[in-house]
Amino acid sequence: MHPSSSDKPAAEKISFLLDGEIIEINDVDPTRTVLQYLREDLRRTGTKEGCAEGDCGACTVVVAELDHDGESVRVRAVNSCIQFLATLDGKELITVESLRGKDGSLHPVQKAMVDCHGSQCGFCTPGFVMSLLALYKNNASPTRLDVDDALAGNLCRCTGYRPIVDAALAMYDESSQRDASDDWLLGAKGTNTEKPLQEKISKLKSIRRTNNLAIKQAGRRLSSPRSVAELADLIQAKPDSTLLAGGTDVGLWVTKRHRELDEIIYLGNVAELRNISVSATHIEIGAAATLSDVMPVLVEHFPALQELFVRFASPPIRNAGTLGGNIANASPIGDSMPALLALDTVLVLREGQQQRELPLDEYYVGYQATALQPGEFLEKIRVPLPASSSGLQTYKVSKRFDQDISAICAAFCIGLDGDEIVTARVAYGGLAAIPKRAKQCEQMLLGKAFERATIDAAINVLDADFQPIDDMRASAEYRMQVCRNLLLRFYLESTGAETERVYGYNRA
């Protein structure tokens, strides 16, 4: 057995940076959120609580951490209401209060918000400012669509979004800048002077942990292993533990369902689980790689995923949430699964030293139930690279364009030899109790010509594949109708009969 955390003296305090100072907290409650800490412990009440479930963005903060190379810093907006405080260990927390200059002056993001009248009651404003700060630090010249995406997780009830979008575009103007070249937060991407960046990196290195974090408070425990071997041992020893990746599902169990999580194992510090690599045959994704890291790699190989990913939650959720968490959570309406099923994805599951491969198609065994055995966890996701003759298309149908859960999500991957359909994978979310392939429909397509009569015949057997769920999001009848329509739409778009996508970036 690998020397596990239980053999080592437990490190019981977490350390993170706030306004340049190292903060150390002993025995933090494992499920205390960053928002609770800010508002109740520090009385830093600039950060607001609206929904406590990652939807409104009022609680947005920015987290900076050393990048994989350990020599650069990545900056991401996250929802503090569902982020557990212990996950800040080794990182920097930046709140709206951090933006004030030593002389009280406004940060360029704040100045632009004032100048463009981007605030009325002000409740949403700190959250918008923090989302804009993340944009400012990551993108030197955003397009209108980049701005829309950066703000997709922030709701305003008063101002309307136009002045806020104006502020996003004005924050780079000369007139918005203030003079403080030693302040790292002031440099937009590409304009950092070396000195403040290097200071930031060395401070983050000084609090970087190399051993397992193990905290215990109020009868609850949280372990944060550093290696897959250590993680595997911990899970084997305590198979009933809650695995915490980005917490964008688990966080809500605490804030909304008031569940007590007595034993938590945090995956976010296992470097191997955050790796993404591309070989000649497949893309291999560590289960704890964030959606923000995974999406560009998948889109490079499967451009059809672009729209689906832009519509997957919001940047703060994608910055924390992981692909592994989306798969493991086993929601029938998870957005990544239909596409991954259509791509014939294989999961690498691990228990102790043993690994096994399982097609994603065999992973879901019932409503929110998976083939994972006690002590086993999802280690990697392998997405085969496509044959050049096969085309993937995905569709998300939801009531809102941004930040909404799907009523139906569909993915089609059809391989052609000339006109003949030689491979067919058709998958839907939101129809059955699990994300599922439409195997009878696929059989109807295989070996036939890719033409309207074949598609009509395949549409007719979809009823045999699914008995749709019926809930407040959509009726069973509606779901089934949309299911049929999407297959037809895929055919029409693929054959050029209808080429204009609704999104198609024509919102710019």
Ligand X SMILES: Cc1cc2nc3c(=O)[nH]c(=O)nc-3n(C[C@H](O)[C@H](O)[C@H](O)COP(=O)(O)OP(=O)(O)OC[C@H]3O[C@@H](n4cnc5c(N)ncnc54)[C@H](O)[C@@H]3O)c2cc1C
Q: Give SS3 for 59.
A: coil
Closest approach of ligand X to the CB of residue 9, in Å: 27
d(CA 166, CA 229): 49
Stretch that binds ligand FES, among 152-160, 281-289, 323-331, 362-370 (CB under 6 A): 152-160
Stretch that binds ligand FES, among 51-59, 167-175, 392-400, 457-465 (CB under 6 A): 51-59
Query: Judged by CB under 6 A, how many residues of this single chain contact ligand FES?
Result: 23
The strand pairing partners of 370, in sequence order, are 364
Q: Give SS3 for 1.
A: coil
Residue 409 host element (H or E): strand 408-417
Q: In what order do the strands lie in the sheet with 420-429?
A: 390-397, 408-417, 420-429, 436-437
The strand pairing partners of 200, in sequence order, are none
Is position 244 an interface residue for ligand X (rule: CB under 6 A)? Answer: yes
Of 3, 70, 122, 504, the residue at the interface with ligand FES (CB under 6 A) is 122
3-state helix, strand, coil in the chain (%, to 5): 35, 25, 40
Is position 245 an interface residue for ligand X (rule: CB under 6 A)? Answer: yes
Of 158, 271, 464, 497, the residue at the interface with ligand FES (CB under 6 A) is 158
Is position 50 an interface residue for ligand FES (rule: CB under 6 A)? Answer: yes
Q: Sign of the C-alpha dihedral, residues 189, 190, 193, 197?
A: positive
Planar angle of CA 487, 489, 492, nearest 5 degrees: 115
Is position 159 an interface residue for ligand X (rule: CB under 6 A)? Answer: no
CB atoms within 10 A of CB 449: 12
d(CA 219, CA 227): 25
Is position 81 an interface residue for ligand X (rule: CB under 6 A)? Answer: no
d(CA 505, CA 303): 14
Burial (Cβ within 10 Å: 0-12, 13-18, ≥19) of residue 122: exposed
Is position 121 an interface residue for ligand FES (rule: CB under 6 A)? Answer: yes
Of 28, 62, 64, 81, the residue at the interface with ligand FES (CB under 6 A) is 81
The strand pairing partners of 421, in sequence order, are 416
The CA distances from residue 138 to 147, 165, 185, 198, in Å, are: 12, 17, 11, 17
Is position 132 an interface residue for ligand FES (rule: CB under 6 A)? Answer: no
Nearest residue by C-beta to ligand X? 325
Of 34, 52, 265, 444, the residue at the interface with ligand FES (CB under 6 A) is 52
Stretch that binds ligand FES, among 117-125, 185-193, 242-250, 282-290 (CB under 6 A): 117-125
Q: Going residue by residue from 262 to 281, which x/- string records binding to ligand X, judged by CB under 6 A? A: -----x--------------
Burial (Cβ within 10 Å: 0-12, 13-18, ≥19) of residue 358: middle
Phi and psi dihedrals of 62, rounded to 5? -115, 135
Is position 110 an interface residue for ligand FES (rule: CB under 6 A)? Answer: no
Stretch that binds ligand FES, among 19-27, 114-122, 214-222, 498-506 (CB under 6 A): 114-122
Q: Going residue by residue from 171 to 190, which x/- string records binding to ligand X, judged by CB under 6 A? A: --------------------
CB atoms within 10 A of CB 295: 20
Is position 249 an interface residue for ligand FES (rule: CB under 6 A)? Answer: no
Stretch that binds ligand FES, among 48-56, 64-72, 209-217, 361-369 (CB under 6 A): 48-56
Query: Judged by CB under 6 A, how many residues of this single chain contact ligand X?
Result: 32
Is position 61 an interface residue for ligand FES (rule: CB under 6 A)? Answer: no
- Map the footprint of ligand X across residues 400-439, applying CB under 6 A: 405
Closest approach of ligand FES to the CB of residue 56, in Å: 3
Is position 334 an interface residue for ligand X (rule: CB under 6 A)? Answer: yes
Which is it for strands 92-94 and 242-244: parallel, antiparallel or unpaired? unpaired
Angle, helix 108-115 to helix 125-138, in steps of 10 degrees = 130
338 binds, among ligand X, ligand FES, none (CB under 5 to 8 A by kind): none
Of 270, 313, 427, 482, the residue at the interface with ligand X (CB under 6 A) is 313
Of 5, 15, 36, 79, the residue at the interface with ligand FES (CB under 6 A) is 79
Q: Which of 215, 187, 183, 186 is nearest to 199 (CA)?
A: 183
Tokens at residue 259, please? 């569940």
- Map the footprint of ligand X across residues 214-243, applying CB under 6 A: 242-243
d(CA 106, CA 232): 48
d(CA 476, CA 407): 10
Of 46, 108, 127, 247, the residue at the interface with ligand X (CB under 6 A) is 247
Stretch that binds ligand FES, among 102-110, 154-162, 389-397, 495-503 (CB under 6 A): 154-162
Planar angle of CA 51, 157, 34, nearest 5 degrees: 30
- Of the pair 48, 200, the CB lying nearest ligand FES is at 48
Closest approach of ligand X to the CB of residue 53, in Å: 6
Is position 287 an interface residue for ligand X (rule: CB under 6 A)? Answer: yes
CB 382 within 8 A of CB 359: no
Closest approach of ligand X to the CB of residue 246, in Å: 3
Summarize as ranges the residues that interact with ligand FES (CB under 6 A): 49-52, 54-59, 79, 81, 119-125, 156-159
Provide the binding-site residues for ligand X, judged by CB under 6 A: 53-55, 242-250, 252, 267, 287, 291, 312-313, 317, 320-322, 324-326, 328-329, 334-335, 377-378, 405
